[in-house]
Chain A
Amino acid sequence: MAHSLISPALNLGLLDPLEVVHAAEQRYRDSVAVGDPLPLNSVEGFVRQVMGWRDYIWHTYWHFGRDFRHANALAAHEAVPDWLTDLDDGAVDAACLSDVLGDLRRDGWVHHIPRLMVLGNYALQRGIDPLAMTDWFHRSFVDGYDWVMVANVVGMSQHADGGLLATKPYAAGGAYIDRMSDYCGGCRYDPRKRLGEDACPYTAGYWAFLERNRGRLAPNQRMRRALQGLDRLKGLEEVVEQERLRGTEAI
């Protein structure tokens, strides 16, 4: 909810991650000493981002070698649409995507969760080429660098590495976005609907994504329940056709 906004400074090399981590710990220990402890979950969460995630993403960029960036385990080959390339939030009706894209256009930065849940989730569902998305994230974010984005986009966000970094794809329907945000209330799409004019493209897109990748995801234990849900879904053919027609047009 509250963020340090120091990722660009770390990635420009202005701050050293260890000094930042040591300073955070010192402040925590000082707060304990004076009997007014900072919340340990906040301190640990920060330390985890800097000496856990950031360092892990850096090392996996090298460890998985030169071909890591070309991994495309879900055979996603769609081009990045122009409205996304141009950060054209005005072309987008979906409240979540329009808001996140608008913030990105204005600031060159949004927090990690909208990157994953709204932007990455969209590309994953629509089958956009993961390397093209890696380049898009690299260019569009002030803290984006090749080493940052290959592991984060190919691995964490697009599941193009077939599960080297994350145990299952970060694909989610509109109901999840509704639960985790306050976007859906005023949106022209209904996160509970998967068919029709007001069907949420994230909800319908989620099912179309599962159907397209059914065979690739079937061996993954953690996808079993989602695929069982897919088997029981009424009107799947219509949903798939609706989303095929929608493609990567602005939603």
Chain B
Amino acid sequence: MPQDPAVGHGVPGMPRPAEADPALAAFPAQAPATRRWCFADQLGPHFLDRPDQPVLLIESKAVFARRRFHRQKAHLVLSALRHRAAELGDQAEFAQVRTYAEALDRVREPLSVCAPTTWSSRDHVLRRPDLTVLAARGFVATQEEFAGWAEGRGRRRLLMEDFYRDNRRRHDVLMDGAEPVGGRWNLDHDNREPPPSDGRLAVPEPWWPEEDEIDAQVRADLDRWAADGDVAFVGDDGPRLFPVTREEALYRWRTR
């Protein structure tokens, strides 16, 4: 792709790469001898260092009161968190509180957390004393790998395509030796065929989850919070459409 001199790094008024920000420190990889606080977007087994590691899960009502979320988003997140708590049983301390701090203040043992996914939540965990912050998980490239790639681009644009190829090579995905399987990296062009004239493709109906008693409780709680005026939502309530457990997620993924 041709270089456009009007864009790229160092343009006045444009965001610049963050440097030496504490939220982007080189965090340690593991802390197996601690209780692991898992945020509601860190619910898989890969956020633990060992299968029997003690876990802290916090359900904070304040998170839902801060913003007007889609009703089904609030349901999905709460249901996923409560399903994880139920699945872990005694292995997890499950705190249903107003704010994170209420739950964290009660912890009397070494606690760790994988770097959370927003600037504000990273600042929050870094302010807590006696909380070990670990490197982020749940993505393909590490922060260091991305930084190394970006550095190597110099003043050239940070092209997704180039980063993607780097990830493919690093993890040997769809590679025949040094070459991409099929000889081409990018097959986007083949994915731009027009739809059939009747607008329908012969694609099987996806698998949809079945709700359980945890979902029923979530629905009742959200109804009550809304009725009390504590929390407001947008969008319709409706049958849950997306997985909330690893088992459901694997099932949807494998039956594709």
Contacts and interface: CB of A to CB of B under 8 A. Distances in A.
Interface of A: 1-2, 4-6, 8-18, 20-23, 25, 28, 39-45, 47-48, 50-56, 58-60, 62-68, 71, 73, 85-87, 104-109, 135, 138-142, 144-147, 161-165, 167, 182, 219-222
The SS class assigned to the A binding surface is: helix
Contacts, number: 246
B6 interface: yes
Contact of B7 (A1, A4, A5, A162): A162
A181 B156 CA distance: 35
B42 interface: yes
Interface in B6-39: 6-8, 11, 13-18, 21, 23-24, 38
B118 to A, nearest CB: 4
Contacts of B2: 221
B206 A145 contact: no
B41 interface: yes
Interface string B216-250: 00000000000000000011101001111110111
A139 B72 CA distance: 10
B166 to A, nearest CB: 10
Contact of A161 (B14, B73, B163, B167): B14
Contact of B250 (A15, A55, A139): A15
13 contacts: A2-B201, A11-B41, A13-B42, A13-B46, A14-B44, A15-B246, A45-B191, A47-B173, A56-B164, A64-B16, A65-B17, A142-B242, A162-B11
Given A71-B15, A73-B14, A144-B73, A66 B119 contact: yes
A25 B186 CA distance: 15
Contacts of A53: 160, 164
A15 B201 contact: no
Nearest 4 pairs of A and B residues by beta carbon: A52-B164, A65-B18, A163-B7, A41-B190
Interface stretch (B53-61, B88-96, B135-143): B135-143
Contact of A45 (B17, B188, B234, B235): B188
Contacts of B236: 105-106
A66 B248 CA distance: 35
Contacts of B41: 11-13, 145
Contacts of B14: 71, 73, 161-162, 164
Contact of A5 (B182, B195, B199, B252): B252
B77 interface: yes
Contact of A109 (B8, B188, B201, B241): B241
Contacts of A14: 43-44, 80, 243-246, 248-249
A3 to B, nearest CB: 9
B206 to A, nearest CB: 6
A242 B160 CA distance: 38
B195 A1 contact: yes
A84 to B, nearest CB: 10
A55 B173 contact: no
B98 interface: no
Interface stretch (B62-70, B99-107, B126-134): B62-70
Contacts of A87: 70, 234-235
Contact of B143 (A2, A9, A59): A59
A86 B138 CA distance: 32
A52 B167 contact: yes
Contacts of B40: 12
B139 A58 contact: yes
Given A16-B137, A164-B8, 8 more contacts: A9-B253, A40-B187, A44-B174, A47-B174, A54-B139, A55-B167, A63-B17, A144-B73
